[in-house]
């Protein structure tokens, strides 16, 4: 398992300085926000190559919504995903992280044909089947992210995300596990990781405080032990605000996480 961090939380003014700082703090890759990469691919390539820090993943940055009731909004999201998947492939990233929908639903309840959740599932599976060949061509993955009940009504557990990936049935559609969201939604995060198994292709790290690991109550060792059991060897990216001086807090967090990995 390799440690990465989102660039948006790194210290520094210029893009290259921030990437170099992450490298100096001990991270092995950088995760980029989708909005950061649209028009900055050459700068990103130059900075990451100079630092010797690969791009792990691209997170979000998609306009529109895959499950909107307005087709223009759905088309906008699909178009952005295709573009960002290509960029992810060009940058050598594992994949593009996507949350199917935030907050409340846009689609109606059309019972007895479908209730809203079932209708959303059917639509999402069809859309991901459409997007999967674009991901495959780009050499990247679509990473479906479950998030907590306070941020979405839909796809909140690893099992629900796995169900979507299984129904799509394409190797370019996989899932992501986020320790912060799992801490809220999963009865037993470690067991949920075991059940999701090889579908997990990326991991986000934040403590119960939504600050850096080590500031809250999450048992990272137990979660990492489960990841080891399923043979997980990919990136785990810090996705959280940093409390304290970044020059001190980041290296301390890397040390804490490395110790958890070793002891798991």
Cβ neighbours, 10 Å, residue 225: 17
Could you identify the residue written with the tokens 């390539």? 45
Active site residue ranges: 145, 239
Tell me which H or E stretch contains 202.
strand 200-205
Backbone φ and ψ of 107, nearest 5°: -80, 150
Is 67:76 a contact under the CB 8 Å cutoff?
no
Distance from the Cα of residue 120 to its chain's centroid: 21
3-state secondary structure 6-66: EHHHCCCCCHHHHHHHHHHHCCCEEEEEHHHHCCCHHHHHHHHHHHCCCEEEEECCCCCCC
Of 195, 140, 109, 127, the closest CA to residue 167 belongs to 127
**Integer Cα distance of 160 and 149 in angstroms:** 13
Terminal Cα-to-Cα distance of the chain (whole angstroms): 12
């Amino acid at each position: 398992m390799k440690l990465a961090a989102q660039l948006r939380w790194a210290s520094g003014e210029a893009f290259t300085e921030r990437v170099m700082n992450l490298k100096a703090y001990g991270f092995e890759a950088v995760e980029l926000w989708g909005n950061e990469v649209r028009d900055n691919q050459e700068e990103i390539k130059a900075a990451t190559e100079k630092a010797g820090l690969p791009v792990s993943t691209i997170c979000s940055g998609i306009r529109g919504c895959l499950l909107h009731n307005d087709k223009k909004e759905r088309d906008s999201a699909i178009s952005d995903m295709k573009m960002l998947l290509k960029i992810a492939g060009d940058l050598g990233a594992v994949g593009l992280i996507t949350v199917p929908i935030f907050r409340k639903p846009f689609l109606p309840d059309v019972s007895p044909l479908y209730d809203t959740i079932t209708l959303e599932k059917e639509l999402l599976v069809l859309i991901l089947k459409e997007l999967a060949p674009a991901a495959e061509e780009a050499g990247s993955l679509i990473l479906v992210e479950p998030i907590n009940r306070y941020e979405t009504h839909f796809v909140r557990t690893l099992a629900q995300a796995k169900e979507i990936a299984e129904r799509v049935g394409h190797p370019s559609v996989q899932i992501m596990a986020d320790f912060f969201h799992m801490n809220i939604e999963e009865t037993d995060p470690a067991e949920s990781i075991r059940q999701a198994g090889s579908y997990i292709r990326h991991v986000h790290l934040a403590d119960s405080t939504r600050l850096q690991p080590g500031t809250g109550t999450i048992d990272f060792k137990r979660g990492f032990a489960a990841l080891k059991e399923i043979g997980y060897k990919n990136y785990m990216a810090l996705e959280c605000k940093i409390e304290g001086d970044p020059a001190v807090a980041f290296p301390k967090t890397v040390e804490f996480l490395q110790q958890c990995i070793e002891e798991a």
